[in-house]
Amino acid sequence: MEMMDKKIIKEMERWIREIEQFFIQKPPEQIYVSVAVIALTFFIFLIVRLLKHSKSNTVVIAGLSGSGKTVLFYQLRDGSAHQGTVTSMEPNDDRFLLHSESEKKGKKNHVHVVDVPGHSRLRPKLDDFLPQSAGLVFVVDSLDFLPNCRAAAEYLYDILTKAAVVKKKIPVLILCNKTDKVTAHSKEFIKKQLEKEIEKLRVSRTAISAADITTEYTLGVPDEVFSFTQCRNKVLVGEASGLKGEISQLEQFIRNQINA
Ligand SMILES: Nc1nc2c(ncn2[C@@H]2O[C@H](COP(=O)(O)OP(=O)(O)OP(=O)(O)O)[C@@H](O)[C@H]2O)c(=O)[nH]1
Ligand SMILES: [Mg+2]
């Protein structure tokens, strides 16, 4: 045993001598340069970490009044729809752990979810939260879709042309809600109809803005029929039932924007 220890110590001493020799032989400039490179790498690494941490964890929920935003908000936070909702007069704004994740082990980041009321007079509140958003959920009522298709498309058009959304490429999830009823329209149908309506709006609105030069961002590609794939930001389509708590696609979207 003792022999072994002595051998190891001898070996280590030899190593240390070799390292010493190495530094003595090298000109000092080379050592300074390598130290500087190591320090710089460490510094860059630190900055990248800091930037990652300061990434926003806000997700905004928008959509027409009655589409089910507040029910979804409660499901995300509490895992229940409570005793129903009335039309909201104020945004619901809270930071929490997603209910479905609250029992899971491991470190999870809190999410900041804001539900902006759909009433047209309260919609400008959206602009307060968009600049700090990592994602936007646009809720559509799949049951009562056709009578509201035009209004939903107008609201979505406004969102997709906002500088805050286009410049920062904020991902948008079009969430077709209330799929618990058999009469609900499919997400493919809703997507198609919204694209058609936006195409109509685009034609009429570009004609107006060309006349009185506004600085609004234009949507889509000239001379091509509008589709969401033309947007600079990601536009996804998903389904949910806030009432039944079927919100996995919504949660997945949130987690994809906000790292755990
Ligand atoms: N069948 C069904 N009904 C739903 C669902 N989600 C919400 N509702 C109903 O839709 C109505 C409106 O829901 P809210 O969550 O208050 O709607 P909102 O989007 O917050 O509306 P505003 O606050 O006015 O902008 C309520 O009567 C809900 O019970 C769902 O998934 N399925
Ligand atoms: Mg509400």
String of DSSP letters for 75-99: HHHHSS-TT-----SS-EEEEE--G
Q: How far apart are CA 157 and CA 116, in angstroms?
A: 17
Distance 260 CA to ligand 2 centre (A): 27
Give the full edge-to-edge strand order of the sheet including 58-63.
92-96, 111-115, 58-63, 133-141, 172-177, 235-239
State which of 138, 155, 176, 243 you would mutate to test the pocket of ligand 1, scoring each by most atoms of that ligand within 8 A of its C-beta.
243
The ligand 1 atom nearest the CA atom of 143: 1
Q: What is the pLDDT of residues 138-184, one digit of tens each?
A: 999 999 999 999 999 999 999 999 999 999 999 999 999 999 999 99
Q: How confident is the model at residue 237 (pLDDT cuts 50, 70, 90)?
A: very high
CA nearest to 137, candidates 253, 230, 226, 217: 253
Half-sphere exposure of 133 (CA within 13 A, CB side): 31
Q: Are strands 235-239 and 133-141 parallel, antiparallel or unpaired?
A: unpaired
DSSP string, 169-219: T--EEEEEE-TTSTTPPPHHHHHHHHHHHHHHHHHHHHHHHHHHT--PPP-
Read off the amino acid at residue 249.
Q
Q: Report pLDDT digits (tens) over 19-40.
A: 888 877 777 788 888 899 999 9
**Domains of the chain (ranges plus CATH)?**
2-52 (no CATH), 56-257 (3.40.50.300)
Q: How wide is the angle at C-alpha 255 spanned by C-alphas 249 and 260, nearest 5°?
A: 150
Q: Ligand 2 is a single-atom ion; what residues have CB below 5 A from it? A: 70, 88
Q: What confidence tens digit (pLDDT) does each residue in 175-227 have? A: 999 999 999 999 999 999 999 999 999 888 776 665 555 546 788 888 889 99
Ligand 1 pocket, residues with Cβ under 6 angstroms: 63, 65-71, 84-85, 87-88, 117-119, 177-178, 180-181, 241-243
Mean pLDDT over 89-98 rounds to 93
Q: What is the pLDDT of residue 211?
A: 57
Backbone φ and ψ of 117, nearest 5°: -55, 150
Please report the atom of ligand 1 found closest to the CA of residue 71.
15
56 near 95, Cβ under 8 Å?
Answer: no
HEC string of 212-230?
Answer: HCCCCCCCCCCCCCCCHHH
CA distance 189 to 128: 32
Nearest CA to ligand 1 atom 1: 178
The pLDDT value given to residue 52: 63
Alpha-carbon gap, residue 208 to 230, rounded angstroms: 21
Residue 181 burial by Cβ neighbours in a 10 Å radius (0-12, 13-18, 19+):
exposed
